[in-house]
A and B are shown apart, each in its own frame.
Chain A
Amino acid sequence: GAGVSQSPSNKVTEKGKDVELRCDPISGHTALYWYRQSLGQGLEFLIYFQGNSAPDKSGLPSDRFSAERTGGSVSTLTIQRTQQEDSAVYLCASSFVGWANNEQFFGPGTRLTVL
């Protein structure tokens, strides 16, 4: 079966432009997570979706960042008015239930470069 997929794999954009990053979780996984990893830095939590519950958005670094999950499946992370400090690898993961109980499966990531 297919794992978690993300698109695009690479995205280069100019400062001030909006970008959308897509995540397709493993079918049947109820929990979906977004993280980012800046160059040379550790993983940073962004947002967590679990079923129909309100998402935990506490990791989003600013109001330029938003995410949605449609139909409990595909998720899109949107960054508005991108800044150079947004350059990072954005990783998506999914699990059958919440993190504390189940293994997460990671996608390959989207490398975002803001010029």
Chain B
Amino acid sequence: KNEVEQSPQNLTAQEGEFITINCSYSVGISALHWLQQHPGGGIVSLFMLSSGKKKHGRLIATINIQEKHSSLHITASHPRDSAVYICAVPRAGSQGNLIFGKGTKLSVKP
């Protein structure tokens, strides 16, 4: 079993739909990160959270530490949201050694 699992692997949505991407992990963590990788390859950090919920624009990230699960939601999705979304957690005992999920490829159709 992978230490960080994301679902779905691929997701196609129509513009305006509500999107949910899930991340489950098997290690104890201090924080979880959501990253966005654009089609051109550039990576942007979206959220770092250790509890509860964070919101930035149309993006919402939630985490349940007890259940070792996080979700990334996109409201009113837009074609420019098309990207690969990656969750990552620190390996136990290390701040910088990270375990990455394989990513969820989102395609939003106009």
Contacts and interface: CB of A to CB of B under 8 A. Distances in A.
A43 B44 CA distance: 13
B97 A100 contact: no
A56 B99 CA distance: 14
B97 A42 contact: no
Given A58-B94, A100-B30, A100-B95, A106 B100 contact: no
A6 to B, nearest CB: 11
Interface of B: 30-31, 33, 41-45, 48, 86, 88, 90-91, 94-103
Contacts, number: 64
Interface residues of A, number: 27
A56 B103 contact: no
Interface string A43-76: 1110011100000101100000000000000000
Interface of A is mostly: strand
Interface of A: 31, 33, 35, 42-45, 48-50, 56, 58-59, 89, 91, 93, 98-106, 108-109
Given A43-B100, A99-B96, A106-B43, 13 more contacts: A31-B95, A42-B102, A45-B91, A45-B99, A48-B95, A48-B97, A49-B96, A91-B43, A99-B95, A100-B95, A102-B48, A105-B45, A106-B45
